[in-house]
Chains A and B, each alone.
Chain A
Amino acid sequence: MPLRKKMEPKTVNNNFKSEEYFINMGPQHPATHGVLRLLLTIDGEIIKKVEPDLGYIHRSIEKMCERDSYQQIVHLTDRMDYLSSHINNEAVCLTVENALQLEVPERVKVIRTIIGELTRIASHCLWWGVMGMDVGALTTYFYGFRDREMINDIFEETCGARLTMNYNIPGGVMYDIHPNFIQRTKDFVKHFKTKIPEYDRLLTGNVIFQKRMKGVGILSKEDAISFGASGPVGRGSGYSCDVRKHHPYSALDKVTFNESLKTAGDSLARYEVRIMEMWESLSIIEQLIDNIPEGDYKVATNAVIKLPKGEYYQKVETARGELGVYMVSTGTKNPYRVKFRSPGLSNISLLNHIAVGGKIGDLVATMATLDIVVPDIDR
């Protein structure tokens, strides 16, 4: 974390060699996907140093969690990684349910998993669109959004919201799935199966794109592990870190799917991992959508939930990687401390490691493959 003091021009200039100069990328910059500020030290076009300056949208969600009851915490996690809000909600609910040793119905588990995978696809759709934009192919954005819109409609019909859904509650889900849910999801799966090959034809196969991505921003497996990379970033380096595979939660132990792994560790590998994940998510949805068991959609909990005294940890795989929820309870109706281990923070810490030596264009492309969501980093 860079110190504010360091950024004053006088101190900075003394350390610089004559050829290097300093450039301030962000907090308002099209490639930083929000209010992330990067302090770049550049020699011509070549990046010498990248210092991410975080905290521009820090909202102290962890502190707010200490104020709120366990039901109320859930809606705050929507605002962390807003692109996988359902999975964030699920993480908190699973923590609370585990602490209470509450057995949720099978139906809830399946619904949660289906919507979680839909969320993952929606997030990757948006990422794909933005990825294209960051490397200069502006049309991808709209194609990605076209498909994401269908998922958002499914969410809106069932949960009432498109982005910050707050569909999970401790003990189940808020409403039962909408009668149209199954049909719409099937339609989407059918539609999207024709669209991923289109993505590949438009962007993945493109020679310019391949040249931009291949061999750029290489992250070795050792570094991925030591930096705490998770999600597609870690798996692009051959680090098998899929929480869904290693610590299955909800209905994920009932489905068969392959963990998307690539060993190259460059930008292209991270890109391909995400494309593969879309296929895997589709297959998970297909396995579950016809087998939603009958039953209750929630189990009744006390109006005031009090967790037993102790510490609880639950990790889930969001679209960006491993999200850990650590809760300390003293037995009251509020948690004593909540800590979120967000995937974005550890992934952005890689940036200096993998972007140095590249061009400015490489930095932008590499950052896009990290798929950062700034509210997730800052919380």
Chain B
Amino acid sequence: MNISLSITKTIHEWLFSIMSETAASITEMILIATVYLAVFAVFGLYLVLLERKVAAWFQLRLGPNRVGFKGLFQTMADALKLVSKELTGTVKADKFLYNLAPYFVIVSALMALAVFPFTQEFQAFDINIGIFFLIAISSIGVIGILMGGWASNNKFALIGAMRSGVQTISYELSVGLSLLTMVLITGSLQLSEIVEVQKSGWLIIQGHIPAIIAFMVYMIAGTAETNRAPFDMVEAESELGAGFHTEYSGMKFAYFFLAEFINMFIIAAIATTIFFGAWLSPFGITESIPWLGVFWFLGKTLVIVFLMMWFRWTFPRLRVDQLLTLEWKYLLPINLVNIVIMAFVVWQNLIIQL
């Protein structure tokens, strides 16, 4: 637990003063979890709104503009509608797995948020294997999708889920390897230390050519990892209707939907942390005001999120075998060569340091 912005510090001390250490830790964890859950549920909703607005602007439309000022409450209203909707299901569904799947997806999406350094020392959980934890967590979500697709007793859902399994297993390799390339520079898996290293230049500048290649590979693989277009084989609405969540309705569907957007945020946040210096401001212009780090972190993340939206609203979908061709014949070899190049760069100390 490393929370030491002034407010959190006060709460921390107050909690430990009134109860035993174990009880205080547990209370604190629950508190933090609740705050994160609340903040990111709302944030996820606004990501959905952003996606819809951005899509509209790409497509000569206006996007949601009715509910609230310029449609700002549109997704709130949608969430309200989804909460109040009846939960339907198939008769022969495997009830236990069918009900478990959405929670699995959303929990694994929210778990990853714990390790992000939003600003200096504003990090819920700073473990020394931060990147490893992120890679592991981000590929757990697929189990929820597989369960959902399998349990809903629908062939379209099953095809979607199987595609998802194939896709995530392939692409987490590239995500991991491209992040590993950057770890060669930092020499640490701990996210706070990675940010520390970037005080002498963001890693994408420090690592120059191999870092840029790694970033490109990471963006492609990351988009695939979140099952978004052009890699949305899982949903592929022109092929499978709705894919794995065909049989889900109401709040259970909302969990899948929200998880998709939080996953997108996570992929972008990892890219920000590893490649673009997390909360560090460009050239240290706002170093004197530490809380502005949150602004920089979110700003950089949203730029990358926008890039992913741009991909989604421009490119056609790949076919399932082409998806695997791209991974195994292009991304993976490039990635492996890139690691060697990066190792050479680090060995010869060709890193650009500002």
Contacts and interface: CB of A to CB of B under 8 A. Distances in A.
B59 A142 contact: yes
Interface stretch (B175-183, B207-215, B316-324): B316-324
B60 A361 contact: no
Contact of A133 (B55, B238, B320): B238
A45 B159 contact: yes
A146 B60 contact: yes
B239 A360 contact: yes
B236 A137 contact: no
Interface in A93-150: 132-139, 141-143, 146
Contacts of A332: none
Interface string A24-46: 00000111000000000000010
A244 interface: no
Contact of A138 (B159, B163, B313, B322): B313
Given A23-B156, A45-B320, A364 B239 contact: yes
B59 to A, nearest CB: 4
A266 interface: no
Given A135-B317, A138-B59, A206-B316, A360 B159 contact: yes
B115 interface: no
Contacts of B2: none
Nearest to B240: A360
B315 to A, nearest CB: 6
Contacts of A359: 319-321
B237 interface: yes
Given A29-B241, A362-B319, A137 B232 contact: no
Interface string B188-232: 000000000000000000000000000000000000000001101
Contact of B232 (A132, A136, A203): A136
Contacts of A139: 58-59, 313-314
Nearest to B235: A136
Interface in A162-187: none
Given A136-B317, A139-B58, A23 B155 contact: yes
Contact of B316 (A31, A135, A141): A135
A31 B319 contact: no
B70 interface: no
Interface stretch (A55-63, A190-198, A207-215, A370-378): A207-215
B92 interface: no
A16 interface: no
Contacts of A138: 55, 59, 229, 312-313
Contacts of A209: 316
Interface string A199-227: 00011001011011000000000000000
Given A136-B230, A139-B58, A208 B159 contact: no
Nearest to A208: B316
A209 B318 CA distance: 8
Contacts of B321: 45, 359
B61 interface: yes
Nearest to B233: A361
Nearest to A24: B155
B315 A208 contact: yes
Contact of A208 (B156, B230, B312): B230
A147 B234 CA distance: 32
Contacts of A211: 318-319, 322
Interface in B316-342: 316-322
A134 B319 CA distance: 12
Interface of B: 55, 58-61, 155-156, 159, 163, 229-230, 232, 236-241, 312-322
Q: Which 10 A-B pairs have the closest CB atoms?
A: A136-B317, A135-B316, A142-B59, A137-B316, A361-B319, A31-B238, A134-B238, A136-B316, A209-B316, A23-B155
Given A135-B238, A364-B239, 6 more contacts: A29-B241, A135-B316, A137-B315, A138-B55, A142-B60, A364-B238
